[in-house]
Each structure stands twice: as C-alpha cells, then as structure tokens.
Amino acid sequence: MTAADLISPLPAIGLRLPLALAIALRELRAGAGGLTIFVLCIALGVTAVAAISSLGASFDAALARQGRLLVGGDISFERVHRRACAEERAALDSEGLVSESASLRAMARIAGGKSALVEVKAIDNAYPLYGAVVITEPKDAGAIWRKPGVIVVERSLLERLNVKIGSTLSIGEATVTIGGILGIQPDRLADRLAYGPRVLMSLETLDRTGLIQPGSLIRWIYRAKLPGLLGNDKTAPNTARFGIEAKFPESGFAITDWTDPAPSIRREVQRFTQFVSLVGLAALLLGGIGVGNAIGSYMAKKREVIATFKCLGASGRLVLAVYLIQALMLAGLGIVLGIVIGALTPALLSTIYGDALPIALAVEPHPASLFTAAGAGLLTMLLFVLLPLGRASVVPPAVLMRSHLTDEQERPPLAFIATAAASGLALFALAIAASEERVITASISAGIVAEFLLLLGFGWVLQLLAARFRRSKPAAWALALASIAGPGSIARQIAVSLGLGLGFLVAIALIDRSLMEEFKENLQADAPAYYFLDIDAKDLGAFRDTAEAVEPDAKLADAPMLRGRIVAVNGVPAEKVEAAPDSRWVLASDRGLTYADKVPEGSTIVQGSWWALDYNGPPLVSFDAEAGSGLGLKLGDTIMVNVLGRNVEAHIANFRKIDWESLAINFVMVFSPNTLVNAPHRVLVTLENPKETDSAREAKLVQALADRFPLVTAIKVGDIVEAAKDLLQKVMTAIRMTAAVTLLIGVLVLVGAVAATQQRRKYQAVLYKTLGATRGRIVRAELLEFGLLGLAIAAFALAAGTITAWALCKWAFEVKFVFSGLAAAETVLLALALVLGVGAIATWRVLSAKAAPYLRGE
Amino acid sequence: MDQTLKQSSASAIRLEGVHVTLPSRAGPVAILRGLDMNVAAGESIAVVGRSGSGKSTLLMVIAGLERATEGCVSVLGADFWTLNEDDLARLRAANIGIVFQSFHLVPTMTAIENVALPLEFLDRDDAFEAARAALAEVGLGHRETHFPGQLSGGEQQRVAMARALAPKPSLILADEPTGNLDETTGADVMDLLFSLKERTGATLLLITHDRTLAKRCDRIVSLADGRATSGRVTSAGTKRRAAAS
C-alpha cells in the first residue's frame, strides 16, 4: 500500500458550500467575537447613504405627486407687472377652468403708525383649483376672504402689530378687517421667499387698495385646470403651453405645469442632496475602515483555528469560503439595518418636522435609492474585507508549531488585491454614476480618498515621532510613547477614524463664521437700511423731501425698476441655453431690470465700454460679468428680454463686476436709457441712515414716508439679511448633522480599534504590574497615550479644516476668511473628550485584568 | 514601607495555612488548601508536582500577583495582608525578580527597554546603564535594540532573566524557565540563572518538572492536592549547608 492509497480523493467541486456554511455557522454559534463593530459600521455607513438618497427621492416624488397642488392647477402662467388683457384671458379660459391671482409685497399699517411688510396674495373665487386653504381660526370661517374688505393673515402678523381677529389695518389706500388666521395654502412652495407674514384677500379687495398701478411689482398668475381626462395626460400641459405661446409669442408668461412644479427648487435640492451624499460616501468609507479593522482583528484571532483546519485537511478555498460566508452574513445584517433605517428617515422627518416642511414628503421606500445604498455597502465591505480574508486563506499549518511572540503576517494573493481594488473602483464608479455633476463628484471622491491617505500618513508620522522620544522621563511618558510607537499602535486608527469628522466640523464652523462676519460687516458698512419699492417717478422729489425733512443726513439712491425675463440668448431660447450651474438662476425666472446713462455705483466695467450720455442707437445692455461668464457670453452677443409683454433685443456693450455684498442697488442687466425709458415703470429707492440713527428715529422716518406714500412698500434690509442668515443657518445645521454622523462612525471605528488592542493592553498592564508599576503609573501612561494622540489629531483636523475653509471662502464663496479661536478650542476639546472617553473605558478594563490568566505557564 | 529589603530577615518566604480558592461556573475550586512553607534567605527551592497541583498559583501568591483567600503570606518580612496593590507592585520592582516559561517580554519594547523597565518603575536615573550591564551579563549586549520578535527563544529568556535580575532582587521566582526551550539552550539558561543567584545571594524558588534541575536546588518541595511537603534536602543543599557552617 502506498501513501497515495491512504489519501482520499478530493471532491471535484471547488468551494463545497454546504460544508463551508455549516462550519461558518458553528463558528458564529460561539459568538461573533468583536464583529458587532463590523455590523454597526456597515449599518451606519449604509444608513447615511440610504437616508440622504431616500430624502432626495422623497422630495422629488413629493414634487411629482403633489404637482397639481404645488402649482395650484394643471398648468400656470405667470408674469410680472401686467394683468392678462381680455384677449389673453379668453385664450386662457379656453384651456380649462382658470383661477387668477396676484402676489405682491405691501405695507400693513395700524392706527398709531406701526407697520409691517406683508406678502399679499389676492385671489378670485375659483381659487384654489386643487387642495384647500386652511383657516386655523375661527374654525368655521369658511372662505371668509371672499368678502370684500376682509383678509386672513398669518399669526405672526397679529404678534408683530399687536392686533387680533376683527382688528382693522390699512393696506395701500384701503382699510381692511382681519377675518381669520391663515394656515396652509396649497401652492405655498411655488411662492417666492417671504420677507413678511402672508395675507390672503380677494381681487376685489386688492382693487380697493389702489396698489395696482402701471409698472408696480405685482405678479399675475393664471392657473388652469384642464378639462376631463386631459388633466391626467402628461402631454396635455405642453399642448396648452404651446397653444398660448403660439397665440401670444411676446406675452412674457413664465409657464410651469404639474409634471415639474418647482424646477429651480428641485434643482437646488438635488444639488444639496448630491453634496451631502458625498459626505455620506465619506461616512461609508470610514465605516469600511472600521469593518477592515474588525475583520482584521477577528481573522488574527482565528489564525490558529485556520491552521488547525488545514492540518486536518481543509483547503485554502474552504477556509476562504467559511470566512467569506461569515463576512457576507454579517455585512448583510448591517446592510439590511442600514437600508431599513434609511428608508424610514423620510417618515421620521415627516413625523418630527412635518409642520415645518414646505411639502409633505413621500414617505414610502424608494427602491432605487435603497439598492444604490445596499450596493455601495456591499462594495465597501468587499474592499475592506478581501485583504484580511486573502491572508487567512494562505495561513500555513506550521503556525501551530511556532512561537506566539512572532508577529509574521501572510501576504494576500494577488487575486484578492486585484478584486479589492476592483471593488474600490466600482464603488467610485457607482458614486459618479448616481450623481448628476460627475466631474465634481469624481474630484471630491478622489479628494476624500486622498484625505484618508493623508491621515494614514499623519498617523505613521506620529509613530515615528513617538519612537524618537520613547526614552523620555518620567516612566509614564516612556510607556505612553512606546505604546504609540510600537507594533499594535492605534495612532493610525485614531488619525483616520476621527480626523475626517473633526476636519469637516472645523471647516463648517469656520465657513459659517466667515459668512456670518461677511453679513455683519456689510450691514455695518454702507449697506442701505431700507429698500422702497413702487415709487411713482413723479413722486420721487416729494419722497426725497419727506425723508430729508425727518432725517436731513439720510442718503437716498434711486433707480428705475421693471422686471423682465430673458427669453433668448443669441437667438437660442432660454430653456435651451447651456448655463453653468451657478448661473442658471439668471434664466430661471424674471429679473429686475433698469436703465442708466452712467455706470451704476458699486459696479466696475471689466470689459467693453459704457454708452454715451445721449446715446440713441439700437438697444444696448450692460451685463453682470460673473453671470455672463456662466452663460458663455461675450461682447456683442444679443440678449432678448420680455418686458411688459414686448420682446426687446439688446447687444451686450460691456460687462460689469458687481459688488453684490454691498447690498446697494444693483442689477444683472442695465439697459441704455433709450431702451426702456418710455415703458411704464416705478422707481426703487434705497435709504441709508447716518450711523448714529437709533431704531426709534428710523421708525419715525419710515412711518412718515408710509403715511405720505401709502402705496410704497418698505423692505427693511436687516429683515432680508436675517431671513438669509436664518436660511443659511438651517442649511449649515443640516450639513453639520451629516458631518456629525461621520464623526459618530469615526468614534465607532475608534472603539473597534481600541477593542482590538484590548488584549494586548491588558497583557501589558499585567506585565507592568508584575515588574512593579503602580496602578497610578499605568493609568497615567494609558491616558497620556490617548491624550497625546487626541491632541495630535485635533491639531491636524484644525489645520486641515482651516485650509479647506480658507480655500472655499476664497474661491467658492468669495468672502473674507475669518478664523475662530472658539472653533479651534471646541475642536481640541471635542477630540480630547472623544479620545479620552474611549481611553478611560479601555484603561478601566485594563486595570481590572487579573495577572494569572496571562502569566500562567502552559 | 521600605522598598529595599535586602537579606535582613532570616526567612525569605513564610506561608502559613494558605488557602487559594477560585470561583468557577461549577462552584469554587480550591487550588491551595492550607499550604505551609518556609524558605530561608539565600536558599534555593524547587517546587515540583503534577499539572494542576497549584505550583503556578503558589508562585503568583508569593509574587503578590494573586491574593490568598486565607492564611498568612510573608515575603521578605512583609506581611502581604497589610499591603495594597501598589505596595505589592513596589515590593516586586525592588525585591522580586520573576522569570516565566513564556518569557513575557513587552513586545512593543526593545531588549534594553524591557530590562530597564523595573528600574524605571523605581525612578532610577541609571536605569538604562544598569540595563545595559545586565544584558551584557547574560551575553546579549549586542542585541540591545532588538524587539522580542527578532530574538530566538533562548535569547528572549536571557533578556527576561536580565530583566528579573537587573534590580538586584532578594528573591527570584522562576516558573518553568526552560519549558519552551530545547535541552541545550535550557541547560545554558539554567547555568546562567544559578550562577547569577550564587553571585547575588538571592533566594530562588524554581517551579520545574525537571528532576535533574530540581536536584540543583537546596531543597525540593512537592505539591500535591494543594498542599506542600516539608521538602527533601538535596545533596546540593547538604553541600551548601556544610560550606556555610
């Protein structure tokens, strides 16, 4: 009999899955051995991606589903200044049931002079075509606004003017009575940003106010409900659109329909979601590092078990299959947890913030988002798990015979390295494919990977520095530095796990501070205190006189103002123009227009030249240089705008650099006077008070103007700035929360990394105790180690966050960068708190380790 | 407490009625059951017995690494019941050197750093100088900067011995020091251990399975069922006593 006779033949199939599954389950039966962190890291990372993606999809679905409600009809036709004439109205009526409304800003005043800026919406009896207006008080008010002279208002107006239901107000030249408190309006999302409380009234009441004047800034909106089955036909709105556009090519209507009710909001939300998704991707990658640490530590503990399997006849493939099955099962658990929480996020947000959201989110699961998140989770798991598994598959049986104190590690086979790399590339490709702005996504993704590598490098540098000073005195320092420098050091893990999240938070805090300082600085500088809208040109002199009579040192600036929409650029219809994302806003809706014979204050010509004082040639226009660049414009190009129902085409004579931050009167487009001087229009005036003017004096001035000119609307610049600041803070909070999730995952990764070294730490502590170290010395050494690492990573995060914030302030936001000592201190404290918190728990466990289990002879 | 207890007391180790009982899922397990032992200063004792007889636990109790459940433990004149953990740690650093079967060197430290450790715990300014000298004494002066993973088993054990002896302890405890070494290396290590013991006059307690090794000590104590025999004086012990008198 030969040796070959004694060896049983191997089965033909490679993986022997059922046996691998049985062994995998038997091993897991004894507990996952520290793989809880593995599951949690995957779960949190997938949650971040799934939640963000689901929220974006929910919003899109809500827009699509509630399109009619948001538009207020199947299709809407909107323009500023001019009401539809009889012919236009007849054409609109032929499309279906039409509701007419007017939106404008006005002043609501009470006896005694107190006033407030309000957002007026005047509607006809057909409104609303879809949904219902909710009057919260009194409950049985019904459509009380239909009564002439009766209005319903948002509660904040009652608080602002200290009035109640039944009180009277003056709006324009009319006295109106408050009939109830306005709750939700169905088409609120489509309204522009409100600077004051909303007021609902009938068109008849609006007529009484005298606010409808030629050239006044009123938006006229005509909403149509298409008849019968056409209402459900997605192509029907286009038929109506083309019909009206063909009949009235220069009507100037901006047309939206229920299939895309708020295109600019949808785009902005999409952009925001994409940016936040990248933060989610960073969180997922960080979770992947935690996964890698956890599985690496788990497989290290399994080396002898694997060697035993192989001694007993298991092949490398079987070993790989066993542990791959375990990894897939646990990853699957994490992914399912992640997508369940992610899928529930829109419902959770709706439950907690329902009233504050502008629309009701579509809370059902969005499969595409969840599959993408699950796919990303799986690819991340493969990226970080394949190398440790690859090493495990080549563990030689001879490991059993060797000393435990040698630290050799097998190299994973090339196939595993290649597959891990392919998973990484696939993850990268998935992130780019799921994004609309692919170049930006690719750049930021590459940046995130570079950041991780930089953090790894920083951790390595810390180890080298610690090695340099390892013989420091006293002994606690020596022990701490030896632990940082030696094998099994957690320097790199701390750097990677916390560096990214802390860096994000620092950058966000500094950008926030810089933007807020910019707001403050501009307000303190020469920003006007008020804008006054809808002043009749013939009243301008009297307006100035009234202002100067109350405040002789007040500075007033004025400019004619109309509104119009760009309808074509170089003959290309506006909707087909390829604009840079930052410049799309110029084409999205109507813009303020003006004319001037001189270069406006706060502008500098950067290209071309201004027209002569008495210029009377073909229409010319001066264009904002930055917006022009985004639209790909050059000198001599033509811009066609629709103003008051007429298309006006002008050649670009020059480009201006505009200082928008000064808040002075500025317009994207300034026309040569001959273009618009004869069009009916009103005047915009800005008021700047001397610095020492207090609020009481300012209020007296505004009241005097309001009393004399009841049809003029006063907008306090401070209120606009506060509204902008408030919106900015909300956005920053959302971004901060995403960064906080990254930090949370980082803490989890750190906990996993420290847990993986716990056995070593306990053993070391026992050794130190055996050799004569007191508990106090051991505690000092442990806390010094964590404290030094925490300080180091705080310093790195501060530097990286500061550089990032500086670069973004300089090139993206174009504001002055302001460093904040408070943000720096908060970062350092947060880093120390996190690291020392984890360290304290680790140290407490280490101190309680008994010597015998570690020191007994075998 | 005076950390430096030289050979001032006639009895280096005195155990009276020592019990060690450890909790387990199956109920308390008695490891030592009323063990008595007396070891004179400068004596060398071999402790032999079957696996599970409590030899390692005995060493842990004497080293102050495990508390007796009952009974009197006095080492180098210090009553362990009056000492807290930090006191015991300080006692070990200054007076007790321990050599383990599995060496138990700190893997993140070089050879010289391992040897210097107990001296650093004693806040000695000359810790590294003394460590260097100790390493030279065991023939490893040229391996100062090597990590344990870079040394052979015999070299690791010699570093462990240098570490145990660098503070010039009054008591040396060795738990199967040659258990993980081959015969030749083990013999070399034991020759070194005994020669260092003789040079310093320290008391030695050696746990071993090796009868030949045990006979090199002055007395052999057997452990059985958690108790010790009074101990048989070996021929080496007889010779030493005769020389002393």
Instruction: Measure the CA–CA gap between A685 and A15, rounded to whole angstroms.
Output: 81
Instruction: Supply the DSSP symbol for A41.
Output: H
Q: Which of B65, B98, B109 sits opposite A486 (nearest CB)?
A: B109
- Summarised one tens digit per residue, pLDDT across range B15-46 is 999 999 887 777 888 889 999 999 999 999 99
Contacts of A487 in chain B (CB under 8 A): 107-108, 147, 149
Q: Does B102 touch chain A (CB under 8 A)?
A: yes
Q: Is the pLDDT of residue B4 over 50?
A: no
Q: Specify the pLDDT at position A152.
A: 95
Count of CB atoms situated within 10 Å of the CB of A227: 12
Distance (Å) from the alpha carbon of B218 to chain A's nearest alpha carbon: 23
Count of CB atoms situated within 10 Å of the CB of A703: 17
Query: Helices A367-393 and A263-301: crossing angle, nearest 10°?
Result: 20
Q: Which of A482, A774, A856 sits opposite B109 (nearest CB)?
A: A482
Contacts of A478 in chain B (CB under 8 A): 113, 120
**400-459 in A: which are within 8 Å (CB) of B?**
403-407
Q: Specify the pLDDT at position A1.
A: 40
Q: Does B185 touch chain A (CB under 8 A)?
A: no
**Is the Cβ pair B121, A857 closer than 8 Å?**
no
Q: Specify the pLDDT at position B72.
A: 94
Q: Which residues contact A140 (CB under 8 A, 6 or more apart)?
A: none
Q: Specify the pLDDT at position A404.
A: 42
Instruction: Measure the CA–CA gap between A187 and A184, rounded to whole angstroms.
Output: 9
> Where does chain B have alpha helices with state H?
55-63, 85-95, 111-121, 127-137, 153-165, 183-200, 211-214, 235-244
Amino acid identity at B85? E
List the one residue out of A650, A653, A646 whose CA is nearest residue A625. A653
Distance (Å) from the alpha carbon of B118 to chain A's nearest alpha carbon: 5
Q: Which residues contact A214 (CB under 8 A, 6 or more apart)?
A: A81, A680
Mean pLDDT of B235-243: 76
Q: What are residue A135's DSSP bridge partners?
A: A182
Residues of chain A with pLDDT below 50 are 1-15, 401-407, 858
Q: Does A483 touch chain B (CB under 8 A)?
A: yes
Instruction: Give the side-chain half-sphere CA count within 13 A for A115.
Output: 29
Quote the tokens at residue A215. Answer: 């050239």
Count of CB atoms situated within 10 Å of the CB of A353: 10
Q: Specify the pLDDT at position A10.
A: 41
**Is the Cβ pair B65, A774 closer than 8 Å?**
no
Q: Does A470 touch chain B (CB under 8 A)?
A: yes
**Is the Cβ pair A478, B104 closer than 8 Å?**
no
Judge residue A64's burial from the number of C-beta atoms within 10 Å of its C-beta, 0-12 exposed, 13-18 middle, 19 or more buried: middle
Instruction: Measure the CA–CA gap between A426 and A68, rounded to whole angstroms.
Output: 40
Q: To probe the interface with B, which of A771, A850, A858 has the most B CB atoms within 10 Å?
A: A771
Whether the Cβ atoms of residue A451 and residue A799 lie closer than 8 Å to each other: no
Q: Which of A487, A770, A854 sits opposite B108 (nearest CB)?
A: A487
Whether the Cβ atoms of residue A362 and residue A65 lie closer than 8 Å to each other: yes
Whether the Cβ atoms of residue A289 and residue A499 lie closer than 8 Å to each other: no
Q: Specify the pLDDT at position A641.
A: 92
CA A352 from chain centre, in angstroms, equals: 19
Distance (Å) from the alpha carbon of A782 to chain B's nearest alpha carbon: 14
Q: Specify the pLDDT at position A400.
A: 53
**Is the Cβ pair B105, A478 closer than 8 Å?**
no
Instruction: Measure the CA–CA gap between A371 and B198, rounded to whole angstroms.
Output: 75
Instruction: Supply the DSSP symbol for A85.
Output: -
Whether the Cβ atoms of residue A682 and residue A535 lie closer than 8 Å to each other: yes
Quote the tokens at residue B218. Answer: 């002055």
Instruction: Measure the CA–CA gap between B60 and B55, rounded to whole angstroms.
Output: 9
**Is the Cβ pair A771, B101 closer than 8 Å?**
no
Q: Does A852 touch chain B (CB under 8 A)?
A: yes
ipTM rounded to 2 decimals:
0.73
Q: Does A221 touch chain B (CB under 8 A)?
A: no
In this structure, of A91-100, A833-842, B173-182, B229-238, the range with the lowest mean pLDDT score is B229-238
Contacts of B126 in chain A (CB under 8 A): none
**Is the Cβ pair B113, A471 closer than 8 Å?**
yes
**30-59 in B: which are within 8 Å (CB) of A?**
56-57
Q: Does A34 touch chain B (CB under 8 A)?
A: no
Contacts of A761 in chain B (CB under 8 A): none
Instruction: Supply the DSSP symbol for B206.
Output: E
Q: Specify the pLDDT at position B14.
A: 94
**Is the Cβ pair A774, B89 closer than 8 Å?**
yes
Contacts of A485 in chain B (CB under 8 A): 108
Q: To probe the interface with A, which of B56, B103, B121, B144 has the most A CB atoms within 10 Å?
A: B121
Q: Is the pLDDT of residue B131 over 50?
A: yes
- Summarised one tens digit per residue, pLDDT across range B60-115 is 899 988 889 999 999 999 999 999 888 888 888 889 999 988 888 877 788 998 89
**Is the Cβ pair B86, A775 closer than 8 Å?**
yes
- Summarised one tens digit per residue, pLDDT across range B39-58 is 999 999 999 988 888 888 89
- Summarised one tens digit per residue, pLDDT across range A120-139 is 999 999 998 988 888 998 98
Q: What is the mean pLDDT of chain B?
A: 86
* Bond from prior residue into A148 cis (ω within 30 degrees of 0): no
